[in-house]
Amino acid sequence: MEIKLKKYDAYKDSGVEWLGEIPEGWELTRLGTRFEERRTKVSDKDYEPLSVTKNGILPQLDNAAKSNDGDNRKLVKKGDFVINSRSDRKGSSGISDRDGSVSLINIVIEPKNFNPAYCNYLLKSQMFVEEYYRMGHGIVADLWTTRYDEMKAILIGVPSLPEQNSIAKFLDNKTAKIDQAISIKQKQIQLLKERRQILIHKAVTQGINPNVKLKDSGVEWIGEIPEHWEVKKLKNFVRIKGGFAFDSSKFKDEGVQIIKIANTYMNKLCLDRQPTFVDSSCLDSHKDWIVSKNDILMSLTGTLGKKDYGFAILIDTEEHFLLNQRVAKIEVKDGFEASYILNILHSDMYLNQLYMLPSGTKQANLSNDNVINIKVAFPNNKIERESILGYINKTNSKISTVISLKEKEIEKLKDYKTSLINSVVTGKVRIS
pLDDT tens across 143-187, in order? 789 999 999 999 999 999 999 999 999 999 999 999 999 999 999
Give the number of other Cβ atoms within 10 Å of residue 422's Cβ: 19
pLDDT of residue 62: 73
pLDDT of residue 108: 98
Q: What is the dihedral of CA 352, 358, 360, 364, to 10 degrees?
A: -90
What percent of the chain shows pLDDT beyond 70? Answer: 96
Q: How confident is the model at residue 67 (pLDDT cuts 50, 70, 90)?
A: low
Q: What is the pLDDT of residues 68-82, one digit of tens each?
A: 566 789 999 999 999
DSSP per position, 128-158: HHHHHHHT-EEETTTEEE--HHHHTT-EEEE
Q: What is the pLDDT of residues 92-149, one digit of tens each?
A: 999 999 999 999 999 999 999 899 999 999 999 999 999 999 999 887 656 789 999 9
Distances (CA, A) of 144 to 17, 38, 105, 417: 21, 22, 12, 27
Which residues have a Cβ under 8 Å from the Cβ of 310 and sit 6 or more positions away?
A: 298, 299, 302, 345, 351, 354, 355, 366
> How far apart are the C-alpha atoms of 408 and 404, rounded to whole Å?
6
pLDDT of residue 362: 82
Q: What is the pLDDT of residues 266-324, one digit of tens each?
A: 999 999 999 999 999 999 999 999 999 999 999 999 998 889 999 999 999 999 999 99
Check if the beta carbon of residue 304 is closer than 8 Å to that of residue 360: yes
Q: Was domain 159-207+381-432 assigned CATH 3.30.70.2190?
A: no
Check if the beta carbon of residue 71 is closer than 8 Å to that of residue 129: no
Share of the chain residues as helix, strand and coil, in percent rounded to the nearest 5: 35, 25, 40
Fold match between domain 159-207+381-432 and domain 211-378: no
What percent of the chain shows pLDDT beyond 90? Answer: 89
For the chain, the domains span: 27-158, 159-207+381-432, 211-378
Which has more pLDDT, 363 or 239?
239
Residue 71 — φ and ψ, nearest 5°?
Answer: -100, 15
pLDDT of residue 143: 76
Q: How confident is the model at residue 64 (pLDDT cuts 50, 70, 90)?
A: low
What average pLDDT does the structure give for the chain?
94
pLDDT of residue 138: 84
Rg for the chain (alpha carbons), in Å? Answer: 28
Q: Specify the pTM.
A: 0.86
CATH architecture of 27-158: Alpha-Beta Complex (3.90)
Q: How many helices (H) and strands (E) does the chain have?
A: 9, 29
pLDDT of residue 430: 95
Which amino acid is located at 283 in the chain?
A: L
pLDDT of residue 427: 97
Is the pLDDT reported for residue 90 higher than 90?
Answer: no
Give the number of other Cβ atoms within 10 Å of residue 371's Cβ: 23
Interhelix angle for 126-134 vs 116-124, to 10°? 60
Residue 163 — φ and ψ, nearest 5°?
Answer: -70, -35
CATH fold of 211-378: Adenine-n6-DNA-methyltransferase TaqI; Chain A, domain 2 (3.90.220)
pLDDT of residue 91: 86
pLDDT of residue 154: 97
> How far apart are the C-alpha atoms of 415 and 395, rounded to whole Å?
30
Taking every pair of Cα atoms in the chain, the longest distance, rounded to a whole number of angstroms, is 81
